[in-house]
Structure 1
Amino acid sequence: MIAKVIIFVLIIAIIYFLIIPKFKSKKPSDSGESFVECSKCDTFVELKDSTLRNGKYICKECLK
C-alpha cells in the first residue's frame, strides 16, 4: 500500500518538474510582434526595440 502511494507521488513529481515547465513560456518571443511597456516612459514598444535591464524593459529612446 505504501509503495503505491510513493510511486504515485513520484509520478506526480516527475510530471510537475519535467513536463509542465516545457509548456510555460519564460521569455517573450523574438518575433517582433510582441509589445512590452517601457518602465521609464510607460509607452509600448516592440520587443526588438527594447532592452531588458534589471528585469524591466526600457525603450531605446530612454536609453539615450
Structure 2
Amino acid sequence: MLGKIIIFALIVAIIYFFIVPKFRKKDDKKDSQNFVECEKCGTFVSLDEAVLSSGKYICKECLK
C-alpha cells in the first residue's frame, strides 16, 4: 500500500515539474517587452510599435 502511494506521488511530481512550467513560460514572455530608440526623435518605443527602415528603427509618429 505504501509503495503505491509513493509511485503515485512520483508520477504527480513528474507531471508537475515537466508540464506545468511550459505553460508558465508563455505568460512570462507576454510580460516582457523590448524597447528600441527611434533614430529621428530619440524616444523609446516598443518593438511592436516601431518600423525597421534601412536598418534603423523609426517610431510610427515620425513616419507621418
TM-score (norm 2): 0.50
Unaligned runs of 5+ in 2: 1-29
Cα drift, residue 39 of structure 1 = 0.1
Match of 1:35 in 2: 35
Name the CA distance, whole Å, in 2 between partners of 1:62 and 1:50: 10
Match of 1:24 in 2: none
Cα drift, residue 51 of structure 1 = 0.2
Give structure 1 regions of 4+ aligned residues with deviation exceeding 2 angstroms.
none
What is the correspondence of 1:1-64 to structure 2 with a 5 Å cutoff?
Answer: 33-64=33-64
TM-score (norm 1): 0.50
Bigger radius of gyration among the two: 2
Unaligned runs of 5+ in 1: 1-30
Describe the superposition over 1:21-46 as per-residue Cα deviations: whole angstroms up to 9, x where unpaired.
xxxxxxxxxx6700000000000000
Identity, in percent, stands at 62
